[in-house]
Chains A and B, each alone.
Chain A
Amino acid sequence: MKKEILKVQSNERLTDTIYEMKLSGCSSMLPGQFVELLIPGFSLRRPFSVAEYSKGIITIIYKVTGRGTEEMTAIKKNAKIDTLTGLGRGFSLSGSEHPLLIGGGIGIAPLIYLARVLYEREKSVKILLCGRCKNDLIKREELKKYGEVFYATDDGSCGFKGNALEAAQSLFKQTDHYYACGPMPMLKALAKNNNKGELSLEAHMGCGFGACMGCSIETTEGPKRVCKEGPVFLASELLF
């Protein structure tokens, strides 16, 4: 973890409710790790997974869900943001030659950086993007560069009509290790069906670096903190 003052390079709208912010000045970030931004006017920092990291620039893809994220959309280029960087334990990178990445909605974000790194390590990457409708399936073109991309939507507006677990069934047969990030019901369904994977979790956090125990979950090895031992956990260690 480092406390760094990052500078906003851009803050643009991707869809109706999803925005992309790029910030420079970050010294270290691994796939699956997260940052905590201190948004002016709010007391606590806000955790965000990192969608891309290169040459000191991090990309955050965020969905407007409340007053904090609404306020974020108004942040202008060159604004300076007090940030904790390099937080948490990210994805393992040496797990498999044929990894499957499953992203649900905004949970697609941290899989982008992961997909690029796995692709650069010459893994044969398959990516399943899931959402309610086509609009939820962000960064489709970018992800095509890193692997074979599949789609599943609840309304059938893009790819397979159905949920992530249904869509993953045939892909599970072609992989020995998967990575998933998305809504809790999706992660729970995946983990119950197949425990050879890693799940990136989300939680309300107090601090983001292991001090307050605000985000502890129960695991097979006792309580673990989403911010410190996570946010990435083995599907096999989670007690849902």
Chain B
Amino acid sequence: METKKITLGTKLLGYQLDNPIIAASGTFGFGYEFAEYYDINILGSISLKGTTKEARYGNPLPRIAECPVGMINAIGLQNPGVERVRTEELSKLKRYYSKKVIANVGGHSFEEYVYVSSAFNDSESVLAVELNVSCPNVKGGGMVFGTDPEILGRLVKEVKKSCTKPLIVKLSPNVKDISEMALSAESNGADGISAINTLLGMRIDLKARKPVISVGKGGYSGKGIFPVALKMVNDIYKSVSIPVIGMGGISDSYDVIEMMMAGATCVMIGTENLINPYACKDIIEELPITMEKLQINNLSEIVGCV
């Protein structure tokens, strides 16, 4: 039987994942919400909702606008603040999820990024910190750190001084050259790259003649961005030697394989979770079947094979 040889196991930053499927930050809450729908222990890992130093309500409504092949969001990093995430949300998640998670960290200043990322140093269930330098939806921060390679380099260096967890830097596609950003992160100590975050976009309410999103613009995600994400992940893969977690519009097992062929060690599933709450489960179940069809026995053999 061919199927017996198929293995989904994937190594990420020295940690063995059962499969390369990770729920993307901002589309999976703090994880336990989805435990109502299926056993989330099947997931490779979960990247938690972006966390800041203080609690944030986020932007006024509407924060969501539909697009033909995706959506625009401008949530604005709503979260209960790092203290509550570390104590309450992580322990709540532990009741449903026995594996390690990725803590996603947002910020408005060097100090905030440093503070929040090192707040997880003693959290046993955190496998890595994902630095969100690419959120387009917060004023005076977020994406600013992810669009200038020199500022990004300084930020990564600062964070690495106090954050003891492996550091993943989540990059914005809203830059001239994403490889340059990845190189800057790598040369300043980043342990991995995740890409891509959302593309800037807007929609207009034709009757009201004003933007649908309260703050005018937001981040475009979903199936429509897949080819853009694929190309950028491939660019990053060719420029750096640290692992790349690929994301952007992945909606099925074929997309997962394509993203891995472009250079992703693991993938994150985002917007598709919002349309199909069982998306990650469906993908994990389909993956071995698709691998068999394509005669892939081991996922590591296809990473960056393109």
Contacts and interface: CB of A to CB of B under 8 A. Distances in A.
A70 B201 CA distance: 25
A5 interface: no
Given A3-B276, A43-B69, A212 B26 contact: yes
A223 interface: yes
B61 A217 contact: yes
Contacts of A213: 26, 29, 49, 58, 63, 75, 78
Contacts of B36: 1
A228 B277 CA distance: 14
Given A3-B276, A44-B274, A213-B49, A206 B73 contact: yes
A1 B61 contact: no
A211 B46 CA distance: 13
B140 interface: no
B66 interface: yes
Contacts of B13: none
Contact of B75 (A44, A203, A214): A214
Interface string B274-287: 11111000000000
A223 B75 CA distance: 12
Interface string B215-233: 0000000110000000000
A215 B222 CA distance: 18
Contacts of A203: 61-62
B27 A223 contact: no
Given A211-B34, A223-B78, A205 B64 contact: yes
Interface string B38-78: 00000000000100000101100111111111110101001
Q: Which of A204, A214, A223 has the most chain B CB atoms inside 10 A of its CB?
A: A214
Contacts of A218: 57
Task: Name A's interface SS.
Answer: loop
Contact of B33 (A45, A68, A211): A211
A216 B78 contact: yes
B37 interface: yes
A204 B64 contact: yes
A210 interface: yes
Given A43-B275, A203-B62, A204-B62, A211 B27 contact: yes
Contacts of A43: 66-71, 222-223, 275
Contacts, number: 91
Nearest to A2: B37
A72 interface: no
A207 B273 CA distance: 8
A57 interface: no
Contacts of A211: 27-29, 33-34, 273-274, 277
B223 A84 contact: no
A209 interface: yes
B275 A44 contact: yes
Interface in A18-52: 38, 42-45
A223 B26 contact: no
Nearest to B70: A43
Given A210-B29, A212-B73, A44 B273 contact: no
Contacts of A210: 29, 33
Nearest to A65: B207
Contacts of A207: 27, 273-275, 277
Contacts of B73: 206, 212, 214
A205 B73 CA distance: 10
A110 B61 CA distance: 23
Contacts of B278: 3
A214 B64 CA distance: 6
B64 A215 contact: yes
A20 B69 CA distance: 28
Contacts of B55: 222
Contacts of B65: 204
A44 B66 contact: yes
A212 B75 contact: yes
Nearest to A45: B275
Contacts of B57: 216, 218, 223
Nearest to B273: A211
30 contacts: A1-B36, A1-B277, A3-B276, A43-B67, A43-B71, A43-B223, A43-B275, A44-B64, A44-B275, A68-B66, A203-B62, A204-B61, A206-B63, A206-B64, A209-B37, A209-B277, A210-B29, A212-B26, A212-B75, A212-B274, A213-B75, A213-B78, A214-B62, A215-B61, A215-B63, A216-B58, A216-B63, A217-B61, A222-B80, A223-B78
Interface of A: 1, 3, 38, 42-45, 68, 84, 203-207, 209-218, 222-223, 228
Given A204-B63, A211-B29, A215-B63, 15 more contacts: A3-B278, A43-B69, A43-B70, A43-B222, A204-B62, A204-B212, A206-B73, A206-B274, A207-B273, A207-B277, A210-B29, A211-B27, A211-B33, A213-B78, A214-B63
The 4 A-B pairs with the shortest beta carbon distances in the complex, nearest first, are A207-B274, A204-B62, A214-B64, A206-B64
